[in-house]
Amino acid sequence: MTPWADRTEYSDVTLSRWRQQLADATGWDIFPRSVTVVQDTLFFLARKGQEKRVGVFAPKPLTEFSGTWHQVTIERRTGYLLEGPTDATNAAALRAHVPFLRPQPLGMVKSVGLGDRLGLATPGHVRAVRQHTMRPVFAQQSIREMERTGRSPQEVMDDALWGVFQEGWHEGFGADADHLKTFEHVDRCVAAGFTFFTIDPSDYVDHTADEAPEADIRAKVATLPWDVLDASPEKLRALYVGRTFDLGDTACTLSEEDVWRAAAKYGAAIAHTVRMYRYLQERMGNTPFELEMSVDETETPTRVAEHIYVASELRRLGVQWVSLAPRFVGRFEKGIDYIGDLAAFERAFRQHVAVAQALGPYKLSLHSGSDKFSIYPIVARLAGDLIHLKTAGTSYLVALEVVAQHEPRLFREILAFARERYATDRATYHVSARLSQVPSPEALSDADLPRVLHEVDGRQVLHVTFGSVLTARDEGGNFRFRHRLLAVLRAHEEAYSAALAEHFHRHLAPFDG
């Protein structure tokens, strides 16, 4: 077999000709953008009936792939063609052969995390990102969501890979192991190949420090893990009390009360982040990775003095991070727009940007960031490239809208079940939906079903019950909804991808400037 040219890019005309010959030889419907040549091997993804297959055309069978090899002639070259399943073995083999399928650190550029609770959204995410300027994190899921959806870190990575491969995204992408709290979480995600690790030390944040009496604050500070923090109360006083930080157009001088309350509130969280970072360094070895610290899931907003303290301590203790997620003012509830005073948000966000510029630079991470359309222009204007936007559940809601349009009976069942589960499932989320405002499925015509997903209460009820929907089983132990829901989305894949691309255009367009 004559080798292909040693490159991965060919003209559209050439790839189209090869694609047609492959389709003629196999009878498969080949995804046009997936056709990729690396040295002497051609890779592609195809649909065979209702299932997807990975194809490889090579001079000889590659034993790392699973499937069946046949001898064929393509483009006047005789070689071997693989028909293989889209399984973990072939995902690993593709990742080894095709460079653009490996996640990588994204660096200091504006970026967006595109969580996918079902494992089918990446093609639509790619289509959205391709039209805009934010760099993508296509593999993103928190450990909490993995547990609730019954997925593993490796499955999250592999599902993103198949979407990237199908859509031919060659521009690089990140993989975010989100909201990690333990070393065991780190181990699982390192083994799966993640490159971005979001540390969630919220369990160590002391919410009472904002209002606690001075004596209690001093007692809290005295019991901090000073060995990990490599300091003492006396050293902390010398480092920060009376120190002025230049924030560009303004300055912030830390008072003694600022320092003690910040330490009482965030000191243990910083220590936990340091432990997790050092453990990550050991596990990753020479493999590059990025770190985010997240304290967004806390009860009280992060004050500017507290942000300064956290960033200064992380830097002093040798932590290298790419983004930090404070708890911003206002309410960042799931699935709906920002709730709060936009002018107050802008004032506070401007100060947080100034801290990130002065003590970094690093990106500010906007968690529960989907559907916050009213603040995107503010964030884009003030932060520039220093922004990472995280989205997740909104893609699930788009999926449910596709189900409502194409399989109304199934959507009715899911809506009824979500209404039953809401009181329990809302406990770990910031939501304010009123169940009384969510219509029962019997009260709606088929044409009215998608309307539930365009109203605040319905969106949130359906948003936070995703785990229960995906893992619910009937009396026989079979999934009640999971397989049927996925089957509808696979049967209407183009509709789902198009709806995602349109939905995320609204998220990404404000950041194109």
Active site residues: 178, 292
**Helix locations, 196-241, DSSP H:** 214-222, 226-229, 233-240
Residues 423 and 115: their CA atoms lie apart, in Å, by 24
CB-based burial label for 52 (10 Å; 0-12, 13-18, 19+): buried
Q: Residue 74 forms beta bridges with which residues? A: 77
Q: State whether the Cα torsion 173-503-120-283 is positive or negative.
A: positive
Q: What are phi and psi of 108, to 5 degrees?
A: -90, 65
DSSP class of residue 339 equals B
Query: Which residues, in sequence order, are CB contacts of 505 under 8 Å at separation 6+?
Result: 128, 131, 132
CA 159 to chain centre: 13
* Alpha-carbon separation of residue 107 from 111, 234, 398, 505 (angstroms): 9, 36, 29, 23
Enumerate helices (H) and strands (E) in the chain, giving the number of each.
19, 16
Count the alpha carbons within 13 Å of 43 in the hemisphere toward its beta carbon: 27
Rounded to whole angstroms, the Cα distance separating 292 from 72 reads: 49
CB 273 within 8 A of CB 182: no
Burial label for 372, CB within 10 Å (0-12, 13-18, 19+), is buried
Compute and round to an integer the Cα radius of gyration of the chain: 25
Side-chain half-sphere CA neighbours of 155 within 13 A: 14
Give me the residue label for tokens 């990102």.
Answer: 129
